[in-house]
Amino acid sequence: MIKLSVNGKAQEIDVDPDTPLLYVLRDDLQLNAAKFGCGLGQCGACTVIVDGEAVFSCLTPVSVLEGREIKTVEGLGSETDPGPLQRAFMEEQAAQCGYCTAGMMMRAQALLQKTTSPSDADIIAFMEPNLCRCGTQHRVLNAVRKAASLMKTAQASPAKQPAAQGAAQ
C-alpha cells in the first residue's frame, strides 16, 4: 500500500511502486484533470504540483511521492466554487479543446505560488514545457495575468484545500 496525499486528502493505493502518478490519479483515484499527452515529459498535459513544484506526473513513480503533497486542478476549486486561477481561465475563455488546459493551469499555479507578480517574460519562460496545439497560448497568458491579480485581491478566495470531490461534480 502506498500512502499519498492528494489535494489534502490521504489516499492508500495498491499499485506497483514504479507506476507513474498519472495512472494512479486517473485510474485509481478517478481524477480527470491530469491528462495523458505523451508519457515522455515532452508536452506537459499531465502536469501536477508536488510540494509547490510543477511536475510531469507521467514520469513520476508514485512511491517517491509518499509524504509529499500532490495537488491537481481538482484541488484548486470546483465548478460551483472555482479558485482564482480557475475563475481567470473561465473569464478569459482560455481554452479551445481544453486538453492541454489542466496541465497549463498547474504549471501556472506553481509559478504563481513562487512569484506573485510574474512578468510576461517570466510566464512565457516558465510555461515553455507545456504544448498547446489549438493555439490558446495568448489566452493562457491573459488568464495567468488575471489570476495573479485575483490572487492578490482580498475577495479572491485562496485555493480551496480539500476538494477531491471535484470529480464527482
User: Of these partners, ligand FES, other proteins, none, which one is at the site of residue 46 (CB under 5 to 8 Å by kind)?
Assistant: ligand FES
Identify the bridge partners of residue 55 per DSSP, sorted by sequence position.
Answer: 48
Asked if 36 interacts with ligand FES (CB under 6 A), we say yes
Helices 101-114, 84-91: inter-axial angle, 10-degree rounding: 130
Nearer to other proteins, 10 or 135 (CB): 135
User: Of these partners, ligand FES, other proteins, none, which one is at the site of residue 102 (CB under 5 to 8 Å by kind)?
Assistant: other proteins
Largest CA-CA distance found in the chain, in angstroms, rounded: 44
How many residues bind ligand FES (CB under 6 A)? The answer is: 23
Asked if 43 interacts with ligand FES (CB under 6 A), we say yes
C-alpha cell at 72: 491537481
At 41, the amino acid letter reads G
Subset of residues 76 to 115 that bind ligand FES, contact rule: CB under 6 A? 95-101
Member of 133, 149, 152, 165 binding ligand FES (CB under 6 A): 133
Asked if 46 interacts with ligand FES (CB under 6 A), we say yes
Provide the minimum distance between the beta carbon of 132 and ligand FES in the complex, in angstroms, as a whole number: 3
Burial class from Cβ neighbours inside 10 Å (0-12, 13-18, 19+) for residue 140 reads buried
Cα dist from 46 to 65, 105, 150, 151, 158, whole Å: 16, 11, 25, 24, 23
The footprint of ligand FES (CB under 6 A) covers: 36-39, 41-46, 56, 58, 95-101, 132-134, 136
